[in-house]
Amino acid sequence: MKKYPVKTYPVDKKKVKALAPRYPRYIRWSDEDKCFIGSLPNLCGDCCHGDTPEEVARELTISAELSLEASAKFGFPFPEPRSVIVTPSEYRDSPQNEQIPCHSPRRNIKPKKDTPMKNAITPKIQAIARQYPRIIRWSNEDNCYIGSLPDLDGDCTHGDTPDEVAQNLDECAEIYVADCLDDGTPLPEPSSFIVSPS
């Protein structure tokens, strides 16, 4: 069988490293796999997993760079980094197809580590909190990463790196769950989201 040479192109790694952070990252817990799953909706979909959101955030950065390098090597245009819309899976087949933006009016709120709570952050609270999916995206307006908990607080934290935001989102989710348990407020059911570029 005759083999045909594949034309390749030089890769500008500086350009790749500068562009990779602009792609939104989606992190969710998988009961089936007993780990966190990471997705790059604009690039390669589900592409990594890990035991913690921070680990997945690091893997997503590497995956974004590798995906862009592959596109550059074979002469494909880079996809446009777009904001992400999350659609709860229970609504995806409904006529309304209710879509929830991954942003809300709350902006740049860091978790309050000194928030008084009757319930300490127990393993039970951590187990509940990890069920809620997280979105990390770059904001040109704020020149930083924004972290969102679509089921809970919407945009609730920010940071200079995806790892930092992933850690902050852990704390935000845990504090939110603990506050609800303290107040007797019912917690929303963690949604299974379908992610699609807007």
Q: What is the pLDDT of residues 40-87, one digit of tens each?
A: 988 888 899 999 999 999 999 999 999 999 988 888 888 888 766 555
CA dihedral 153, 197, 192, 119 (to 10 degrees): -20
DSSP-derived 3-state class of residue 108: coil
Question: What's the token pair of residue 109?
Answer: 């709120």
User: 99-135 pLDDT, tens per residue?
Assistant: 333 333 333 334 444 444 445 778 888 888 988 888 8
Average pLDDT over residues 138-165: 88
Instruction: Give me the pLDDT at residue 106, please.
Output: 34
Residue-wise pLDDT for 158-194, tens only, equals 999 898 999 999 999 999 999 888 888 888 888 766 5
pLDDT value of residue 95: 36
At residue 191, the pLDDT reads 75
End-to-end, the C-alpha distance of the chain in Å comes to: 43
Residue 36: per-residue pLDDT = 92
Give CA–CA dist 8/123, Å, rounded.
50
Integer CA distances (angstroms), 152 to 115, 134, 195, in order: 17, 10, 17
pLDDT value at position 85? 57
pLDDT of residue 41: 86
pTM: 0.75
Beta-carbon count within 10 A of 176 CB: 23
Residue 188: the pLDDT is 84
Average pLDDT, integer, range 9-15: 84
Rg of the chain's alpha carbons, rounded to an integer? 18
In this prediction, residue 89 has a pLDDT band, given cuts at 50, 70 and 90, of very low
- The label of the residue with tokens 């009016």 reads 105
Which long-range contacts (C-beta less than 8 Å, at least 24 apart) are formed by 172-175?
172/111, 172/147, 173/129, 173/130, 173/132, 173/134, 173/149, 174/121, 174/125, 174/126, 174/129, 175/111, 175/112, 175/115, 175/117, 175/121
Other Cβ atoms within 10 Å of 49 Cβ, number: 16
Q: What is the pLDDT of residue 1?
A: 62
